[in-house]
Homo-oligomer: A and B are copies of this chain.
Amino acid sequence: MSDGKAPQKKLLKALAGEKTDGPPIWLMRQAGRYLPEYRKVRADAGSFLDLCYAPALAEEVTLQPIRRYGFDAAILFSDILVVPDALGQKVAFKEGEGPVLEPVTDAAGIAALKSPAGVKAELAPVYETVSRLRASLPPEVTLIGFAGAPWTVATYMVGGRGSPDQAAAKLLAYREPETFQSLIEILVEATVEHLSAQVEAGAEVLQIFDTWAGSLPEPSFERFALKPVKAIRAKLKARFPHIPVIAFPRGAGGMAERYFRETGVEGLSLDTGVSPAWAKAHLQPLGCVQGNLDPLLLVAGGDEMRAQARHILETFGQAPFIFNLGHGIVPQTPPDHVGELVKLVKDWRS
């Protein structure tokens, strides 16, 4: 998608390492249940996955927060579990329960998955949503595609659902490292296919969500979190040299520095628990950082939200930086608080 000229959009400038006139802002889960217009579309759409696979509706909910707040980026409305779905693992979203999958727990289950090469055909409606969005978004708004990182997607595939300790995936990884590695490799390939198809359809930036990276001990983090994302980044770079990638290794703590350097991603998304002072010293010199207001501050609003948003702006705002949350917007967020935050960030100047 690049014509070789310097990027003009604010988000792309920040990811290219340029200082912008005030930081760009978007928020994880900016399209979602906290918005009444989203709940309306969702109620008519059938299941959550039906919505992900309905291009006109997925386009509409992606655009809703752009219309309402004027964010600098739109992120495709989809889910990280469309990849296991495309690999033939049945995924269902149950109300109040989250995703439920038929668990893949052994080598036979992994061998029974469909080929990653088929992802592009299986997920055609997702890429149609991307194409529509690229055509309908205002020219100053950047379109972000995304996928889950192999480790995080594997925790759902092996466990069959979310869990606080990722026990099922960890036990498979510890008891049968080679078996687990084979699943990770399938997911590396499938993720590259899925992200490539999003770029071909018009995505300008890619984000890789590794929600459960922080629970892995160092040797497993290297093998199952760092290396797969490094491999994905390298393969994408070979295909699309000008498309920047943001990674979100949630909870990586002190390992974030090595991760940022070794994966070669352009942007690192920081969770709520990351100290801005620490990240300014150790992470921002390596690339563009993104984050990291507590989503619960957006629920609370008021003085504390403003003070902590300013703390983040003042710490990171002197260098390439994207304002975001430390995790996704939660459903009980008052939409007015989001509007107030966007105004605060847009009005701020270093």
Contacts and interface: CB of A to CB of B under 8 A. Distances in A.
Contacts of A88: none
Interface stretch (A17-25, A182-190, A271-279): A271-279
Nearest to A277: B218
Nearest to A165: B296
A217 B311 CA distance: 11
Contacts of A167: 296, 299, 330
B174 A215 contact: no
A interface majority secondary structure: helix
Contact of A218 (B177, B253, B275, B330): B275
A251 B164 CA distance: 14
A170 B254 contact: no
A100 interface: no
A307 interface: yes
Contacts of A256: 253-254
A305 interface: yes
Given A253-B253, A254-B279, A278-B254, A215 B171 contact: no
Contacts of A253: 251-254, 256, 273-275, 278
A216 to B, nearest CB: 7
Given A273-B251, A274-B254, A217 B300 contact: no
A125 interface: no
A294 B217 contact: yes
Interface residues of A, number: 49
B278 A255 contact: yes
Nearest to A214: B273
Interface in A281-329: 282, 292-294, 296-297, 299-300, 302, 304-305, 307-308, 311, 326
A292 B221 CA distance: 14
Nearest to A253: B253
Interface in A123-179: 164-165, 167, 170-171, 173-175, 177
A36 interface: no
A219 interface: yes
A252 B274 CA distance: 8
B277 A174 contact: no
Interface string A54-95: 000000000000000000000000000000000000000000
Given A165-B296, A218-B311, A256-B254, A174 B304 contact: yes
Among the interface residues A164, A253, A307, which one has the most CB atoms of the partner chain B within 10 A? Answer: A253
Chain A to chain B: the 7 pairs with minimum beta-carbon distance, closest first: A253-B253, A254-B278, A174-B300, A174-B304, A170-B296, A255-B275, A214-B273
20 contacts: A167-B299, A170-B300, A171-B296, A173-B304, A174-B302, A174-B304, A175-B304, A177-B304, A217-B292, A217-B297, A218-B275, A218-B311, A219-B307, A220-B294, A221-B273, A251-B273, A253-B254, A254-B254, A254-B274, A254-B279
Given A173-B304, A253-B274, 12 more contacts: A170-B294, A215-B273, A216-B272, A217-B273, A217-B292, A217-B294, A217-B308, A217-B326, A219-B311, A221-B273, A252-B273, A254-B256
